Amino acid sequence: MAARILAVANQKGGVGKTTTSLSLGGALARRNKRVLVLDLDPHACATLHARVYPEAVTISLYDLFAAPEAEWPALWPQIILPQAISGMDIAPGSIRLNDLEDIMRTRACKGTILARALRKVRDDYDFIVLDCPPHMCLMLVNALLACDLLIIPIQTDFLALHGLRLLFDSLHTLNKVLPSPIRYRAVATMFDRRAKACLHVLDLLKKKMDDAIFETVIGLDTRFREASALGCTIFDIDPKSRGACAYDSMAEEVLKLW
């Protein structure tokens, strides 16, 4: 079976997007699923988290997008870094992804490049996780058009609700021209049960999202920062920690969707 493609996106930074991409991917990898993470963010946070530094990246996803389709099969093996972090393969990002908007201005079918390129590697994996940039751009459009499921991490904070509205506006625009609407599901992140504001936002999200929100709630856990500092996932730090158990539960929910 071809890989399920999960796009992790929100048009607001600091909501746990990269943490969700790597932690969810790590939870799936622990279930012996073959996982590939694509770092589509020009800030390359997932790449850096895996201790892959810009000076060491000679070829990245930028080169895939910039290349003609005939070159994609040869490029993928050069781009993908096997077992880069916690049993997952990673296709590194680059600051050069910012340049694609101008370079590809006149290119035909530029919004479906990723969907078409992933066909070359989709049979090699069970899940492909797309760590998306926090703003509407060519990379995000490509991710939305390529994914089987859009996962929206939402920090349990009132300001994060604004980013959710922006993303829904973008989805509404894309869905007008698509044969079927983009499937999505939100996940509440950075939840602090001691804070009344967090409880209130979580209640609002559940009412507003109805069935389109994971039952799993991702709470605060200092081990996420420890994992980032050590270049691994929270499962390598403490697989029984609160954060690890939460993403483990979320992985179970994801697996039940298909």
Can you give the residue ranges of every domain in the chain?
4-255
Q: Tell me, what's the pLDDT at 135?
A: 81
The secondary structure element, H or E, covering residue 32 is none
Angle at 103 between CA 97 and CA 108, to 5 degrees: 110
pTM for the full model? 0.95
* Of residues 237 and 194, more confidently modeled: 237
Please write the tens of the pLDDT for every residue from 129-167.
999 998 878 899 999 999 999 999 988 887 777 767 787
Q: Within 10 Å of residue 197's Cβ, how many Cβ atoms?
A: 11
pLDDT of residue 158: 79
Q: How many CB atoms lie within 10 A of CB 110?
A: 17
Is the pLDDT at 113 greater than 80, yes or no? yes
3-state secondary structure of 192: coil
- Fold topology of 4-255: Rossmann fold (3.40.50)
In this structure, what token pair is assigned to residue 92?
A: 């590194």
- Give the pLDDT score at 177: 83
DSSP secondary structure string for all residues of 92-121? ---GGGGGHHHHTTT-TTGGGHHHHHHTTT
Strand locations in the chain, DSSP E?
A: 4-8, 35-39, 81-85, 88-91, 127-131, 149-155, 184-191, 213-219
Q: What is the pLDDT of residues 161-206, one digit of tens each?
A: 776 778 788 888 889 888 899 999 999 999 988 888 889 889 988 8
Which pLDDT does position 174 carry in this prediction?
Answer: 87
Per-residue pLDDT, 209:
84
Cα gap 182→244, rounded to integer Å: 28
**Has residue 89 got a pLDDT over 90?**
yes
Residue 176, token pair as written in the block: 């007008």
Mean pLDDT of 117-134: 96
28-77 tens-digit pLDDT: 999 999 999 999 999 999 999 999 998 889 999 999 999 999 999 999 99
Half-sphere exposure in the Cβ direction for 208 (13 Å, CA): 14
